[in-house]
Amino acid sequence: MEDTIMNDRHFSNFNIAGFTYYDGIEVFSELKIGTLLTMVAEPNNKYDPSAVAIYYNDKKLGFVPRENNELLFKFMELGHKELFEIRVNRISPESHPEKQIGVIVRINEKNKNENPSS
């Protein structure tokens, strides 16, 4: 049953777009399978008005690919960023830089951080 619950939380998975152009190389050795990352909507991005950047601490790693970002962006812009978590799920150092880091976006469990007695 627990496996089914975990699978139901899956939202998307993809490679980090633009990894070559940002700060990923500076923190590559710190990234591990399961590392929690952060997504930040960039509505003023001149290349994509639905851009969602991916960060590890204060280092920008790249973006959610354009073909995967629209729904995430909309939820984030509506104030629901906490609905999602993004983690590293694949590291391939020998691959082309645009395919070195794979991530998974999962839907957080309902009421995960809420007090059940409230």
pLDDT at 4 exceeding the cut of 50: no
CATH number of 22's domain: 3.30.70.2330
Domain with 6, as residue range(s), is: 2-107
Contacts of 31 (CB under 8 A, 6+ apart): 56, 88, 91, 101
**Residue that the structure tokens 């139901």 belong to:** 8
Helix, strand counts (H, E) of the chain? 3, 6
pLDDT band at 60 (very low <50, low <70, confident <90, very high): very high
Task: Tell me, yes or no, whether 71 lies in a domain.
Answer: yes
Task: Tell me, yes or no, whether 116 lies in a domain.
Answer: no
Percent of the chain whose predicted confidence (pLDDT) is above 70: 86
Task: Tell me, yes or no, whether 53 lies in a domain.
Answer: yes
Greater confidence (36 vs 114) lies with: 36
Mean pLDDT of 43-71: 97
Number of folded domains that form the chain? 1
pLDDT at 110 exceeding the cut of 90: no
CB 53 within 8 A of CB 60: yes
Beta bridge partners of 107: 84
Distance of CA 20 to the CA centre of its chain: 17
Task: Tell me, yes or no, whether 117 lies in a domain.
Answer: no
| Tokens standing for residue 99 | 């395919």
pLDDT tens digits for 14-50? Answer: 999 999 999 999 999 999 999 999 999 999 999 999 9
